[in-house]
Amino acid sequence: MFPLQRNRRLRTNDSIRSLIRETHLSPNDFMFPMFVAEGKDYKVEIPSMPGIYRRSLDLTVKEVKELWDLGIKAVNIYVKVDDKLKDNTGKEAWNKNGLMQETIRAIKDAVPGMIVMPDVALDPYSIYGHDGIIEKGQVINDATVDALTLMSLSHAEAGADFVAPSDMMDGRVLAIRKALEENGHHNVGIMSYSAKYASSFYGPFREALDSAPVDNMDVPKDKKTYQMDYANRIEAIKEALHDVEEGADIVMVKPGIAYLDIVREVKNAVNVPVSVYQVSGEYAMVKAAAERGWLDHDKIMIEQLHCIKRAGADIISTYFAKEAAIILNK
């Protein structure tokens, strides 16, 4: 058909490129992961995640207000638990006066419109750094699901809009959904980490929460018995479909950039929104390369976020959310 079809006609200038652009990015697409710590007026940068902080509750609320003003409408909450509160049961996770529950209440009081999605997993509360309860050297499934259910109910009672189980235990979405319904929390949603891989990209996150598996011969050295093998694709579709059947309102793929094929596969398979977590290691790599002058930070950031959305993400959980929103708002 050449020269009747010259594809470059549609790339001639920025105006025509903008006019026909297929993927559009805005702050509405973002969810911001936040790390909360005990104390007051406390703010400490995480060394491996420049620009990301552990904040006390008062400063967390202040930051949430700034996010809302930028157009970011969802936050994913993680708490740094004091070592003396950790055990093998995770019981602090459903303490109605615990740090997570206080954080949920404070954010909803300060910014009622902000969608609060607290993390549901036992690793911040575990003396072993695992997402579940340990028995005879293994992470046991069903007792962990019971604990996660209690944790989810406490989040709902504190005012969470969604609970976000990130543990990858079998059957936990159904158990949580039933418990929410039976206790009158019909409008509390579930964002399930459906395809969460046993990835090496999580290192900086585990530093932020001091939640890495402990070096102990009596417990698994990693999370490969419950998180997915990164070599698998079809399994991700199966996991997502199961979670939807069990009552998940949103399914998540984690990590992000290295797993865009999985994002598209899951998006094609389910009829619910798909969330993607651009994780700490992906964030840290961009920061490190930009600090050395090897990459243009802002251009790479916006390009990666576009790519995640193009692959099928309806929601992008990203540590870049605030920086990207500032740029996009301009």
> Which pLDDT does position 218 carry in this prediction?
81
pLDDT, mean of each 10-residue run, the chain (330 residues): 89 96 97 97 95 97 98 97 95 97 98 98 94 94 98 98 97 98 98 97 81 77 94 98 98 97 98 97 96 97 98 98 97
> Which pLDDT does position 211 carry in this prediction?
67
Q: What is the DSSP string of 109-153?
A: HH-TTSEEEEEE-SGGGBTT--SS-EETTEE-HHHHHHHHHHHHH
Nearest alpha-carbon partner for 170 in 185, 198, 192: 192
Catalytic entry in 73, 86, 196, 322: 196
Map out the domains of the chain with their CATH numbers.
26-329 (3.20.20.70)
- For residue 254, indicate whether it is catalytic: yes
List phi, psi (to 5°) of 88: -95, 0
Catalytic entry in 86, 254, 267, 287: 254
- 303 appears as a binding residue in the annotation: no
- For residue 224, indicate whether it is catalytic: no
Pairwise CA distance, residues 9 & 13, whole Å: 9
> Which pLDDT does position 213 carry in this prediction?
80
